[in-house]
A and B are shown apart, each in its own frame.
Chain A
């Protein structure tokens, strides 16, 4: 009985891992700034939200993503609602891709991810510049998008491996 309970708890924890990781990443802002690497920055929540919304949306509730966005805005000092808006749009793009795809292809997903982050970043930063009169370095945004795009494939492979592990663990239980 207790073994069954423990297995169930672990499975639930595995299922919740993406949302836990998302909350840690928005509260902690993985950035590697302390390494003083000139221009290096990437947006980990973009990768995480796109991948899990595409592959297993039931593991990443939209309401929780909305709150993660609010937290991210508070941590980095953006107007409240900006990151939620961006994150939810990423979910929408991923859900659209999921709807129109019969057989998934990592290359297609990767390119669609680039299109998604370009579109949502343009939208959110236009909003910040036009309505909130914030000054933003466009070069930094472009570099951030490029690194986010290139790192997607690495994180997607890690998440894929993790998904396989969960499936095996669920089958064993």
Chain B
């Protein structure tokens, strides 16, 4: 019994403490270094933040280059699948186009009326200069859903700015480096956005699920959401302006986003300011 415990201790000591053949560092030393990095990172130690920003810049660029062959394969795969569904898409788009044309006529009137009303209630209406950014990395791990874009503090990107795919909200800036930034997608488990669900105008919080959809949380039990209800930003929390389209309700409280986060190539970054009355 004593001998077997000794063997165990020797094996553990040999594995973790002793430096192996052709190894420059012992495992124990590197494990302590990792823990030190984690602890200092947890308490936002400034030196760690500088290291992090420098490593981020270097790694994001390298990752973009390394991902080129895989991205080429992905694009080819998508093109191929698109090719087989062109006709169906064409038919769908034809129907949609007809519907949209009839809506455009009504929209111009509603937009001008909306601008006038927003000025009265002092809402966010002025959009800062749009910054178009290229998506460098979109490796969405099963645990964290985020993308890296090629614009950073050099291009006046700030934390919390809204990130849009066309007119649809896809996320917000959560990390800014000198020439790159990280965007937390709406689908991430840690993403919480105040929303309005139209046409009833219910106020709620949209939370990511870690998958391709979102879920409506923290709303009253008795609200009746119907499939096809549209989800917009509510403007609460003073982060985004109200009325940015996000997605549609499908099956009770699930939200299908308008934008396909796996297909993001370029995104639009904007901040909102209040207009002068």
Contacts and interface: CB of A to CB of B under 8 A. Distances in A.
Nearest to B66: A27
Nearest to A69: B34
A33 interface: yes
Given A66-B33, A69-B34, A95-B15, A80 B52 contact: yes
A140 interface: yes
A80 B27 contact: no
Q: Which of B25, B30, B262 has the most CB of A within 10 A?
A: B30
A74 to B, nearest CB: 4
Interface in A131-156: 131-132, 134-137, 140-141, 143-144
A11 to B, nearest CB: 15
A136 B144 CA distance: 8
A29 B24 CA distance: 27
A112 interface: no
A148 to B, nearest CB: 11
Given A31-B139, A62-B30, A99-B15, A71 B59 contact: yes
7 contacts: A27-B62, A27-B66, A28-B70, A57-B20, A65-B30, A91-B27, A93-B15
A133 to B, nearest CB: 9
Contacts of B21: 57-58
A96 interface: yes
Nearest to A96: B15
B30 A29 contact: no
A7 B16 CA distance: 35
Contacts of A140: 142-143, 210
Interface of B: 7, 10-12, 14-16, 20-27, 30-31, 33-38, 41-42, 48, 51-52, 55-56, 59-60, 62-63, 66-67, 70, 74, 77-78, 137, 139-144, 146, 175, 182, 189-190, 209-210, 212, 262
A17 interface: no
Contacts of A61: 22-24
Given A75-B63, A95-B14, A132 B42 contact: yes
Query: Most B CB atoms within 10 A — which of A77, A95, A143?
Result: A77
Contacts of A91: 27
Interface residues of A, number: 53
A88 B17 CA distance: 12
Contacts of A5: none
A93 B14 CA distance: 11
Nearest to A135: B189
Contacts of A143: 142
B38 to A, nearest CB: 4
Contacts of A34: 74, 77-78, 262
A95 B20 contact: yes
Given A66-B30, A96-B15, A85 B190 contact: no
B35 A85 contact: yes
A71 to B, nearest CB: 5
B139 A29 contact: yes
Contact of A88 (B11, B27, B139, B209): B27
B38 A81 contact: yes
Given A27-B63, A57-B22, A99-B14, 14 more contacts: A27-B62, A28-B70, A28-B139, A58-B21, A61-B24, A62-B27, A74-B55, A82-B34, A82-B38, A96-B16, A100-B7, A135-B189, A136-B143, A137-B209
A10 interface: no
A28 B67 contact: yes
Interface in A103-155: 127, 131-132, 134-137, 140-141, 143-144
Contacts of B139: 28-29, 31, 33, 75-76
A2 interface: no
A84 B34 contact: yes
A134 B66 CA distance: 28
Nearest to A125: B143
Contacts of A18: none
Nearest to B14: A99
